[in-house]
Amino acid sequence: MPTILLVEDNEANRDMLSRRLVRNGFDVTCAVDGNEGFAMTLSGHPDLVLMDMSLPGMNGWDATRAIRNQPEIAGIPVIALTAHAMAEDRALALAAGCDDYDTKPIELPRLLGKINALLARNEQETK
């Protein structure tokens, strides 16, 4: 079962999205801010990270950069989640090293498509 780390500070968002992902066959763990997100990526080596961008403490952009700068976890795909569909957010997320980008409200089929594409890509690369 693929493992996903969901980094999201809003409790209801975290609960809702993690439950929807579990229903779709993922093993989900959660972190509540950027620092914890980075630490749990390092300790747990998830197959993929879903990263909210506006987080307290270390924000999602900084947490993603931290992951990219840590060689043993630098290859883990990160999908940025933001609340608003703004072009500059997308550019910022990609510049920080995110592999893909999705906006809230989450349309689950769309997000699952992005998750599965990145998981498949990474599986190809590790072969």
Partner 1 sequence: MTQESTYSFEPPSGGGVSSALLHSLRTPLNQILGYCELLRDELASRNEPGLLADVNRIEAAGQDLLGLIESSSSTAPLPRPGEADSTLSPIELMVANAAAVIADQPAQDDLAYLQAYAPPSARESGRILVVDDKSGNRDVLSRMLRKQGFEVAEAGDGSDALTMLSESADKGKPFEVVLLDIVMPDVNGWEVLQKVKADPKLQNTAIIMISGVDDTDTIVRCLELGAADFVPKPFVPAILKARVSASIRAAHASGAMN
Which residues sit at the interface with partner 1, rule CB under 8 A? 10, 12-13, 16-17, 19-20, 23, 54, 83-84, 104-106, 108
Beta-strand ranges (E) seen in the chain are: 3-7, 27-31, 48-52, 78-82, 100-103
| Side-chain-facing half-sphere of 81: CA atoms under 13 Å | 25
Question: What is the rounded CA–CA span in Å between residue 76 and residue 118?
Answer: 9
| Residue nearer to partner 1 on the CB measure, 71 or 105 | 105
| Residue nearer to partner 1 on the CB measure, 13 or 59 | 13
Question: What is the rounded CA–CA span in Å between residue 113 and residue 14?
Answer: 19
- What is the SS3 assignment for 107? coil
Least separation in angstroms between CB 12 and partner 1 = 4
| Residue nearer to partner 1 on the CB measure, 38 or 101 | 101
Least separation in angstroms between CB 54 and partner 1 = 8
Least separation in angstroms between CB 10 and partner 1 = 6
